[in-house]
Structure 1
Amino acid sequence: MAAKGPLRGISQYVIHRLVANYWSLPLIAVFGAPLLGAAVLWTDRAFAGEWLFERGVTLLVAGDAAQDLAIAIVGVNAALLTLYWSVTLIVLTLATANLGVRLVDRWLDKVLTRVSVAGLTFCLVFSIVVLSRIDPEASLAELPHFALAVLFALELVNIAMLGVAIHDLGRTMFVDRSIAHLGTEASSIAIPVVAAEPFAGEWRFALPAPREGYVEGMDLERLRKRLATHEGQVRFCAAPGQHVLKGEPLVQFEYEPRKTKPVLRTVAIGDFRSSVQSTVYQVRLLVEVASRALSPGINDFYTALACADQLAAAMAGHAQTWVDDGLVAVYEHDSRFELPGQDFRGLFEGPLKAFRQAAADYPSVSIRIIENLARLRTLLAGQDCPGALLEFFQTCAAEMHAHARANAEHDSDRADIDRAFDKCLLAVAGEA
Structure 2
Amino acid sequence: MGAARLRQFWADLLASFWLRPAAMTVSSILLALGLIRLEGVALPDWVGYWVYAGGTAGARDVLGVIASATIGVAGTTFSITVAALTLASSQMGPRLLRNFTRDAGNQYALGALVATFAYALVALRSVHEAEEGEFVPQLAVSVGLLMAFACIGVLIWFLHHVAASISVDRVVALVQKDLTAALDQVARDEPRQADPVPRPQDAAPLHAAGSGYLRVLDDAALADWAAESDALLLLEVRAGGFVFPGSEVGCVSPAARQEEAQAKLAEAMVLGDARSVEQDLEFAVRQLVEVGMRALSPGINDPFTAIAVVDRLGAALCGLAGRGLPTGQLHREGRLRLARPATDYTGLVDAMFHMLRQGGAGQPAVMIRLLEVLAVTATVEHDPHRRADLRRHAELTCDAALRDCTDEAARQAILNRHASVLEAVAS
Q: TM-score, normalised by structure 1?
A: 0.85
Amino acid at match of 2:148: E
Residues 1:410 and 2:411 are matched in the alignment = no
Q: How does 1:387-398 map to 2 (within 5 A)?
A: 387-398=384-395
Structure 1 counterpart of 2:196:
198
Structure 1 counterpart of 2:152:
159
| Deviation string, structure 1 residues 376-429 (Cα, Å, up to 9, x no partner) | 122213xxx1x2221111111000110111112433322222222122233345
Residues 1:421 and 2:422 are matched in the alignment = no
Residues 138 and 349 of structure 1: is their aligned pair in 2 closer, same or farther, counting only changes over 3 Å? farther
Between 1:129-138 and 1:92-101, the stretch displaced more is: 129-138
Amino acid at match of 1:24: L
Structure 1 counterpart of 2:300:
298
* 2-structure distance, mates of 1:221, 1:113: 35
Q: How does 1:12-161 map to 2 (within 5 A)?
A: 12-30=7-25, 33-44=28-39, 47-48=40-41, 57-135=50-128, 142-161=135-154
Between 1:60-69 and 1:292-301, the stretch displaced more is: 60-69
Answer yes or no: is the 8 Å Cα contact 1:217–1:277 preserved in 2. Answer: yes
Amino acid at match of 1:81: A
* 2-structure distance, mates of 1:348, 1:402: 18
Between 1:357-366 and 1:139-148, the stretch displaced more is: 139-148
* 1-structure distance, mates of 2:131, 2:20: 36
SS in 1 for 2:270: strand
Q: 1:18 Cα deviation (Å)?
A: 4.0
Q: 1:107 Cα deviation (Å)?
A: 1.8
* 2-structure distance, mates of 1:155, 1:128: 13
| Deviation string, structure 1 residues 319-374 (Cα, Å, up to 9, x no partner) | 45669xxxx93446655332324211233323321121111111111111111112
Structure 2 counterpart of 1:361:
362
Residues 191 and 22 of structure 1: is their aligned pair in 2 closer, same or farther, counting only changes over 3 Å? same
Structure 1 counterpart of 2:171:
178
Q: Point out where structure 1 has 5 or more consecutive residues left out of the alignment.
A: 1-6
* 2-structure distance, mates of 1:410, 1:24: 55
Q: 1:308 Cα deviation (Å)?
A: 0.5
Structure 1 counterpart of 2:215:
216
Residues 264 and 276 of structure 1: is their aligned pair in 2 closer, same or farther, counting only changes over 3 Å? same
Structure 1 counterpart of 2:372:
371
Residues 1:337 and 2:338 are matched in the alignment = yes
Structure 1 counterpart of 2:281:
279
Q: 1:52 Cα deviation (Å)?
A: 7.8
Residues 315 and 252 of structure 1: is their aligned pair in 2 closer, same or farther, counting only changes over 3 Å? farther
Answer yes or no: is the 8 Å Cα contact 1:67–1:136 preserved in 2. Answer: no
Amino acid at match of 1:209: A
Between 1:261-270 and 1:90-99, the stretch displaced more is: 261-270
Q: 1:375 Cα deviation (Å)?
A: 1.7
Answer yes or no: is the 8 Å Cα contact 1:316–1:376 preserved in 2. Answer: yes
Answer yes or no: is the 8 Å Cα contact 1:190–1:279 preserved in 2. Answer: no
Structure 2 counterpart of 1:310:
312
SS in 1 for 2:228: coil
* 2-structure distance, mates of 1:62, 1:287: 62
Answer yes or no: is the 8 Å Cα contact 2:52–2:139 preserved in 1. Answer: no
Q: 1:112 Cα deviation (Å)?
A: 1.4
Answer yes or no: is the 8 Å Cα contact 2:194–2:329 preserved in 1. Answer: no
* 2-structure distance, mates of 1:131, 1:273: 46
| Deviation string, structure 1 residues 137-190 (Cα, Å, up to 9, x no partner) | 899973211111221222222222232232222211122223223223323244
* 2-structure distance, mates of 1:246, 1:282: 26
Residues 55 and 425 of structure 1: is their aligned pair in 2 closer, same or farther, counting only changes over 3 Å? closer
SS in 1 for 2:54: coil
Answer yes or no: is the 8 Å Cα contact 1:210–1:246 preserved in 2. Answer: yes
Number of corresponding residues = 413
Between 1:131-140 and 1:175-184, the stretch displaced more is: 131-140
* 1-structure distance, mates of 2:254, 2:109: 52
Between 1:88-97 and 1:21-30, the stretch displaced more is: 21-30
SS in 2 for 1:214: strand
Amino acid at match of 2:141: L
Structure 1 counterpart of 2:264:
262
SS in 1 for 2:227: coil
Q: 1:15 Cα deviation (Å)?
A: 4.1
Answer yes or no: is the 8 Å Cα contact 1:63–1:139 preserved in 2. Answer: no
Answer yes or no: is the 8 Å Cα contact 2:210–2:245 preserved in 1. Answer: yes
* 1-structure distance, mates of 2:52, 2:11: 43
Structure 2 counterpart of 1:169:
162
Residues 41 and 227 of structure 1: is their aligned pair in 2 closer, same or farther, counting only changes over 3 Å? farther
* 2-structure distance, mates of 1:377, 1:357: 21
Residues 1:235 and 2:244 are matched in the alignment = no
Amino acid at match of 1:400: T
* 2-structure distance, mates of 1:370, 1:37: 61
Structure 2 counterpart of 1:4:
none
Q: Point out where structure 2 has 5 or more consecutive residues left out of the alignment.
A: none
Residues 351 and 144 of structure 1: is their aligned pair in 2 closer, same or farther, counting only changes over 3 Å? same
Amino acid at match of 2:67: V
SS in 2 for 1:241: coil
* 1-structure distance, mates of 2:323, 2:241: 19
